[in-house]
């Protein structure tokens, strides 16, 4: 097992974020993390990235518990930071260099990889941000920032990609590009999204966090869209009114486009 959480519970300032979460992810799996606003998706991804320790329970990477001792162990820490990366929900939280070029070469330089500049250029090309090379990331559009942030983690050529709503700011063409791109990458992914219609393209297994911050479902994505009762319980169905000329009616929506 590459990633494992054992009865993980966490609060933020007394605010419940996760309750008793057991999750096992094998090498090469593609897991889609679903759940309503505040259900705990970002908290779970940050715990998997070792950014903090859970209040209760434990997180393991490749058999090693992610505790203070592991992350304080120079060799393990370096390996973990290279192999496991998190694309934050807010790309701004990841971009703090004066140019895209420096943004992309920072990670490789910090991890003392060979030819940081060449790696940066190569990944800028592959992720379609080469034309932004000299621009300050703070000036970019939200979608451009999201792509640059993605390039800045991919440049490490990780084994595990933790993606927090990676398509949230992308236009339809960029979303299509990202889905295709991820399908071709030989990595393990855990992707949080609100986009139910995209979920089957992002993985074959769904983990749904409920509003009580527990795992409501861990199973196949196939058929999920038909399980309206479950989706309603997870608050993943939206209901709103339609107007058709003078007529108005209301019904549940699962697809993002209807
Ligand atoms: N830094 C923080 N300080 C205080 N409370 C926090 C913090 N981060 C998250 N929370 C709370 O923890 C709970 C889980 O938040 P989290 O961001 O993990 O949810 P989420 O599923 O990612 O939501 P969204 O879909 O809106 O991104 C929420 O109630 C949130 O208000
Ligand atoms: Mg979130």
Q: Is 43 in the pocket of ligand 1 (CB under 6 A)?
A: yes
In sequence order, what are the residues at sequence separation of 6 or more whose Cβ sits closer than 8 angstroms to the Cβ of residue 114? none
Q: Could you give phi then psi for residue 50, rounded to 5 degrees?
A: 65, 25
Asked whether residue 188 is assigned to any structural domain, the reply reads yes
CATH number at residue 233: 3.40.50.300
Q: Calculate how far, in angstroms, residue 240's C-alpha sits from the geometric centre of ligand 2.
A: 23
Asked whether residue 220 is assigned to any structural domain, the reply reads yes
Q: Cα(13)–Cα(218) distance, rounded to whole angstroms?
A: 28
The tally of CA atoms less than 13 A away on the side-chain side of residue 9 is 8
Q: Which of 18, 39, 210 to mutate to test the pocket of ligand 1 (most atoms within 8 A of CB)?
A: 39
> What is the separation of C-alpha 6 from the centre of its chain, rounded to a whole number of angstroms?
20
> What does the radius of gyration of the chain's CA atoms come to, in whole angstroms?
19
Asked whether residue 225 is assigned to any structural domain, the reply reads yes
Q: Which atom of ligand 1 is nearest to the CA of 194?
A: 25
Specify the number of domains making up the chain.
1
The pLDDT profile of the chain, 258 residues, written as one tens digit per residue, is 899 999 999 999 999 999 999 999 999 999 999 999 999 999 999 999 999 999 999 999 999 999 999 999 999 999 999 999 999 999 999 999 999 999 999 999 999 999 999 999 999 999 999 999 999 999 999 999 999 999 999 999 999 999 999 999 899 999 999 999 999 899 999 999 988 889 999 999 999 999 999 999 999 998 888 888 888 888 888 777 777 777 777 777 766 643
Residues in the chain: 258
Domain range for 233 is 3-253
Predicted pLDDT of residue 258? 37
Predicted pLDDT of residue 123? 97
Predicted pLDDT of residue 25? 98
Asked whether residue 244 is assigned to any structural domain, the reply reads yes
In sequence order, what are the residues at sequence separation of 6 or more whose Cβ sits closer than 8 angstroms to the Cβ of residue 22? 5, 6, 7, 8, 215
| CA of 33, nearest ligand number | 1
Predicted pLDDT of residue 241? 74
Asked whether residue 258 is assigned to any structural domain, the reply reads no
**Which helix (H) or strand (E) segment is 79 a member of?**
helix 74-83
Handedness of CA 35, 9, 2, 104 (dihedral sign): positive
| CA of 37, nearest ligand number | 1
Q: Is 42 in the pocket of ligand 1 (CB under 6 A)?
A: yes
Asked whether residue 139 is assigned to any structural domain, the reply reads yes
């Amino acid at each position: 097992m590459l990633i494992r959480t054992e009865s993980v519970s966490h609060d933020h300032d007394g605010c419940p974020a996760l309750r008793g979460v057991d999750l096992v992810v094998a090498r090469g799996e593609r897991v889609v993390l679903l759940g309503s606003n505040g259900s705990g998706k970002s908290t779970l991804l940050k715990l998997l990235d070792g950014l903090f320790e859970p209040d209760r329970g434990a997180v393991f990477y490749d058999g090693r518990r992610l505790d203070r001792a592991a992350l304080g162990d120079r060799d393990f820490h370096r390996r973990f930071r290279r192999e496991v990366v998190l694309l934050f929900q807010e790309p701004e939280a990841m971009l703090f260099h004066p140019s895209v070029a420096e943004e992309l070469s920072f990670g490789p330089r910090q991890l003392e990889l060979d030819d940081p500049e060449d790696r940066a250029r190569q990944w800028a090309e592959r992720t379609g941000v080469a034309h932004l090379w000299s621009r300050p990331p703070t000036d970019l559009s939200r979608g451009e920032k999201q792509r640059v942030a993605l390039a800045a983690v991919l440049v490490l050529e990780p084994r595990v990609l933790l993606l927090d709503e990676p398509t949230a700011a992308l236009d339809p063409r960029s979303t299509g590009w990202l889905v295709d791109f991820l399908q071709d990458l030989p990595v393990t992914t855990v992707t949080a999204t609100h986009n139910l219609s995209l979920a089957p393209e992002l993985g074959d297994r769904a983990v749904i966090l409920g509003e009580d911050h527990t795992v409501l479902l861990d199973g196949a994505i196939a058929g999920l869209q038909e399980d309206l009762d479950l989706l309603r319980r997870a608050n993943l169905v939206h209901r709103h009114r339609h107007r058709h000329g003078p007529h108005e009616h209301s019904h549940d929506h699962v697809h993002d486009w209807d």
